[in-house]
Structure 1
């Protein structure tokens, strides 16, 4: 093992007091069953051996094509999906092995999720008051009067008029419903929020409002975010570091400035080449990289590097050996044989 590999292993696996979350070797496989007897015939490897960490108060963006496993990663971290393998160290405790009762006492309060479609996640039969009181009722917190006060505080935090409190979800616009989703996530004063395509269904002007709101709340409450999106421009605006996923694996992870200015992995380079940009005078235009072939099935991923079937720089070793996810520059990790 080289010095670089040794350093990477310690960075990704040692419990660091500055890290609110450390994901180690995380896997989430969905079984494939066939026939009348529902025999197990294989697995969909939605998430396959992920390693990353999140510092307190920072935003980690996760990007990649549809089906790359980024949403499954978020849902597995919060234990909406049970992890197949690996560790999820949150505030020094491995939540991957916790019982449901332990999760309810700790993680269910400290990690919250904001989903892509707020209308689908809000009960259409409940008023805004009932929706925002539900977390307090579930965890038996505060008196009836205090719960009403807390709801008013939440509305003020997310910029909603207190007079809306008796309305139902269908009476709100998409942006207002997403604000309700954020308010509900904030109700229990969490340490971390996982935003899964939280602005992708909104108009561009509303997207900006929601992102600005999330950044204001982060500064005010010291929140850490996992921001999952396919929109590279939005991720660049809100994130401190960005991870690029492909077929359930992390291809590259770096600070946003480093990743966008000097992407190392051929897949990251191809993704960024597709982002529309306005060039300054004298700035070199980024050449468009068109990937050939189809995205392989996560039920039958390629051997070696999972990207080698579409990679313009593929070598023989890429077909045979899985590249190590390692640090090639300070705080810049990549899984590619080009840098070994």
Structure 2
């Protein structure tokens, strides 16, 4: 065991202890979904224990994920096998674009607008829920009842309206600003519609934390168990930031946007840890588990693509 790396792990867990349920979602989406998405409960407990999650909290979290439709359970003898449900697979796939790909580097100038017409007080709850869903997807509030995003397509907005069963309650438009028409351009409202200062501070903190890990890894390799714990902690911290990032295209971001450097660092560390972490994952999650499959090829496209060593490991496991 690499003692300096273990010290780093313990410091991070003390400063930013992950919540059990959220950590489970991270682990399911990052590590298990590419391998079929199924695991015995006892093996999940073993994987999360080094991350400070005790068995009672883990069991409670898994129960909640089942009740919320993320997981399906199957009782086999005295053991329980948990599998990502179709809904869980959709949700993890949706989050993966933000986590592993990020915002576009260019932009065609188009905006998606969602406009809620003024209605009576009887629909306030629906409007509040729609606002929460749109903001979660990165839409900015331009004015009361008016939301805008330069990257999300109109289909995303329609999916939210269908999900809330109010498809006929809002206008969904797609369009450009008119050049030379005068008036206030939407792009000038970026700082008002999105809290980029707070987001930038989170990215800088992430980079400061994990630059220290990069220095440690340059001196000594972690054990497979440490690599898996570090990978999970890395992606968990990254996920907490990027899922609250509106994913604005580069032309709308401030100069020297710290999210770009943070993403490069996260990707570099991810692939440094990947091969050893997969060795540990396979040793535990594949035990007596016919649903555990070789790594899905799509996982190798994360963070602009795996280096040769990670690709070679995937070929060996297949």
TM-score (normalizing by structure 2): 0.28
Whose RCO is larger (CA < 8 A, sep 6+)? 2
Bigger share in strand: 1
Higher helix share: 2
TM-score normalised by structure 1 residue count: 0.27
